[in-house]
Amino acid sequence: MKYPIEAYAEAFCEAALERKGKEEELIKKFLVAVNKNGDWGEIKKIFKLIARKMAVRRGGRFVSVEFGRAPTKKVTLMLEESFSKKDHVEFKVRPELIAGARILINGEQELDSTLIKKINKLFI
Amino acid sequence: MREIIEKLKKDIAGFKDEAEFADVGIISEVGDGIAKISGLRDALAQELLVVKGARGELPAVAFNLEEGSIGAIILGDASALAVGDRVKKSGKILSIKAGDELLGRVVDPLGFPLDGKGVIFKNPEVAKDYSLERRAPSVLDRESVNAPVHTGIKSIDAMIPIGRGQRELIIGDRQTGKTAIALDTILNQKQDSTETGRNQVVCIYVAIGQKNSKIAKIIKMLEEAGALSYTIVVSAPASSPASLQYLAPFAGCAIGEFFMDSGRDAVIIYDDLSKHADSYRQLSLLLRRPPGREAYPGDIFYLHARLLERAAKLSKEKGGGSLTALPIIETKLGDVSAYIPTNVISITDGQIYLESNLFYQGVRPAVNVGLSVSRVGSAAQTKPMKKVAGRLRLELAQFRELQAFVQFASDLDEATRKQILRGELLTEILKQPDGEPVPVENEVAILYAAINGFMDDVLKKNVKKFEKDFLEYLQKLHKKEVLEPLTKGLFDEKTEKALNEAVRTFKNLNKI
């Protein structure tokens, strides 16, 4: 990598704050810059970090909700309404969790109500 | 079967699960035995972490505390871990359970048994937890080294004596007999304690990066010699992860400290610290710590210094126990001025230097007496040994100076020729086979005979036979008046006279 992911994310966030209203142009130029530097392979990680940083800058939280089975629309709506508009919420399905859900906030605090956790606690 | 079902039903009935927020870290990178973990802001350095992988939980140690992540070493097989796995703090630092139940067992650096003899501690709650990283005893907690650790090797016990609480380095090229010296020391502890009135010395052998076959051979040898009953083997072979090889000496030291703190004497052998340094270098480079000389991290000296400083002789107020360390370092082509050897030489209280040249010449153990030293010296020798060993070093030093003239023996004066013959005799006396340590009373007796000229007329080829027969003779006919006082560390006029007479009588009987 020419530059660390952290540097790309921080640069994008600062540029976004300076150029409010010109987000589309900014994103285009940013993608060109990443490609030019040969770091296109890390683009997913970069955008994930950008989403996290933007949420924090807005005063919100970065929330990751992982389900054991695909949730219904009702469940996802209910969860989204539980958090504020400033929070960035993403949903994932991980079959290894079997059932239930776990919520990770800012990558540091977790509420785990998955079935796999209960089974491990019970038998291990 | 019924019992198992009842137990499971009980567990299910008593199961309580209240979901609550917990601090958690997430693995962002994993591979080569290390992991990068994001989160866990409050983790402390060297804190024990628990990684929940697909195949169960694995312990890890927080090594690097960086701005946005933690670099951790995985204490086990990291192949089952994946990015996204959760990590929790334990709030503790790594520790090992220590107790008398460890005697005779082979364990890994985390304290799990490897010998297939079942659980070590029947009541784990009773066993003491000793941290792998501990502070060394302070200056006030120590006292001077004053009791010997007899290795059973004549050249070492006479000229490079090791005391209880000392650190004596064994250094030499590969295949020069370094491990053999260490093992002879372990074997000799059995003989040394039965009649001297001192406590049985506990031995700990730490195998770092060794071949599994070599470790198995050592264990078998110790078992056959009856030495395993007072020995603990901590094994981190070459096939184990670098993290376990890094921790092995600290685990052994923690076990040794248990015995030291309970007022007993322990000897610990680190075989070898060169491989330990290599494993630490591997972990440091993987964690992107800045490399220094020879790519070792900057704190490589501190790694060995803090380990070896924990070997000490404690004062009577602290129980009077001791931990004697015998670290082993392998040199390349006899270069003792390389980085790691010079580091460890400056830390230890002396070194036993083994030379390949001497080994190939048949001088085994191949101890270079000129370059070897014990900084504790005669403070760690019994009175009889002090008496006989005093002249030994001088005689050998004079012999070495004259050795160049050996080939011109016919042109030398009588005194020089005698000196050369004496030197050759002493060199021959100091040779001994592997795995046959000599009790201290026998060492004193044979060295007394050699130093005082009783063996000057013995041919070089007959020296070994003379030694064997003489010691047998003493054992059968002069045990009470000669060997027993020597065993107890007594060498008064009466004992010396008895020994003198015994040698003369033996020679007369055998017409020497």
Please identify which of the residues B375, B393, B400, B417 carries the catalytic annotation.
B375
**pLDDT-derived band at B410, boundaries 50, 70, 90:** low
Q: Using CB atoms, pick whichever of B19, B40, B86 lies closest to residue A113.
A: B19
* pLDDT attached to residue B350: 96
Residues 6+ apart with CB under 8 A from B261: B314, B318, B319, B321
Question: Do the Cβ atoms of A86 and A56 come closer than 8 Å?
Answer: no
Size of the A and B interface in Cβ pairs below 8 Å = 41
pLDDT at position B498 over 70: yes
pLDDT over 70, % of chain B: 97
Residue B468 DSSP class: H
**pLDDT-derived band at B195, boundaries 50, 70, 90:** low
* pLDDT attached to residue B193: 61
Q: What is the 3-state secondary structure (H, E, C) of chain A?
A: CCCCHHHHHHHHHHHHHHCCCCHHHHHHHHHHHHHHCCCHHHHHHHHHHHHHHHHHHCCCCEEEEEECCCCCHHHHHHHHHHCCCCCEEEEEECHHHCCCEEEEECCCEEEECCHHHHHHHHHC
**pLDDT-derived band at B397, boundaries 50, 70, 90:** confident
**Average confidence score pLDDT of chain B:** 92
Nearest CA in chain A to B10: A122
Question: Nearest-CA distance from A52 to chain B in Å?
Answer: 13
pLDDT at position A72 over 70: yes
pLDDT at position B183 over 90: yes
* Least confident among B92-96, B168-172, B480-484: B480-484
Q: Flag whether residue B42 sits within 8 Å of chain A, measured between CB atoms.
A: no
Q: Flag whether residue A107 sits within 8 Å of chain B, measured between CB atoms.
A: yes
- CA B37 to chain centroid, in Å, comes to 36
Residues of A in contact with B21 (CB under 8 A): 105, 109-111
Q: Flag whether residue A10 sits within 8 Å of chain B, measured between CB atoms.
A: no
Q: What is the mean pLDDT of residues B47-56?
A: 91
* Least confident among A48-62, B75-89, B417-431, B435-449: A48-62
pLDDT at position A61 over 70: yes
Residues of B in contact with A120 (CB under 8 A): 52
Q: Using CB atoms, pick whichever of B12, B20, B24 lies closest to residue A108.
A: B24
Nearest CA in chain A to B13: A122
pLDDT at position B489 over 90: no
pLDDT at position B338 over 90: yes
* pLDDT attached to residue B47: 95
Residues of A in contact with B26 (CB under 8 A): 104, 107
Residues of B in contact with A96 (CB under 8 A): 54
Pairing of strands B21-23, B128-131: unpaired
* pLDDT attached to residue B192: 62
pLDDT at position B199 over 90: no
Contact A122 B41 (CB under 8 A): no
Residues of A in contact with B20 (CB under 8 A): 111
**Average confidence score pLDDT of chain A:** 87
Distances in whole angstroms, Cα of residue B3 to Cα of each of B8, B9, B62, B294: 9, 10, 41, 60
pLDDT at position B409 over 60: no
The pLDDT tens digits of the residues spanning B154-163 come to 999 999 999 9
